[in-house]
């Protein structure tokens, strides 16, 4: 159970850090130029989604590979989920909304997602590798 708690906590911390830096520091002007964005995001919804995604990822890794988990396993699973999620965020959202620059949108969202899911994948694999049943 501790591996799941630590994995979810890790996902929230990494996601909050990467996405927060992208939205509010590195790409602040880009996001400020989006006319449909809220001036003050509803932070509780974002945290709720991070917790849910973290739960899905940690349970998926445990189901996929219950024993002998490696850091590579966590990385590959996280990248697969990241590709799934980022493909929507990076490609579909700018096709539905009038974003200032589709190319910039794709670059920003793809980069942030890659950093987020690589960092988390390494942590996920590490946590699961440290909290697994010992061989007899």
CA distance 74 to 60: 10
Q: What is the pLDDT of residue 21?
A: 95
Q: Does position 136 have pLDDT exceeding 60, yes or no? A: no
**Average pLDDT of the residues of the chain:** 93
Please identify which residue in the block is written with the tokens 């509780």.
44
CB 127 within 8 A of CB 2: no
pLDDT greater at residue 109 or residue 33: 109
b/e 48-87 (16+ beta carbons within 10 angstroms → b): eebeebbeebbeebbeebeeebebebbbbbbbebbeeebe
Domain boundaries, the chain: 2-130
pLDDT tens readout for residues 71-82: 999 999 999 999
Percent of the chain topping pLDDT 70: 99
Q: What is the pLDDT of residue 123?
A: 98
pTM, rounded to two decimals: 0.90
């Amino acid at each position: 159970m501790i591996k799941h708690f630590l994995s979810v906590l890790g996902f929230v911390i990494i996601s909050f850090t990467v996405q927060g830096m992208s939205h509010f520091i590195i790409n602040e002007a880009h996001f400020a130029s989006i006319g449909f964005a809220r001036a003050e995001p509803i932070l509780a919804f974002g945290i709720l989604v991070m917790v849910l995604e973290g739960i899905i990822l940690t349970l998926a890794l445990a189901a996929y590979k219950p024993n002998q988990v490696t850091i590579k396993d966590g990385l590959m699973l996280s990248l697969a989920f990241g590709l799934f999620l980022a493909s929507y965020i990076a490609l579909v959202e700018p096709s539905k909304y009038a974003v200032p620059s589709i190319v910039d949108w794709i670059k920003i969202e793809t980069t942030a997602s890659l950093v987020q899911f690589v960092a988390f994948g390494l942590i996920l694999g590490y946590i699961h590798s440290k909290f697994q049943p010992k061989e007899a």
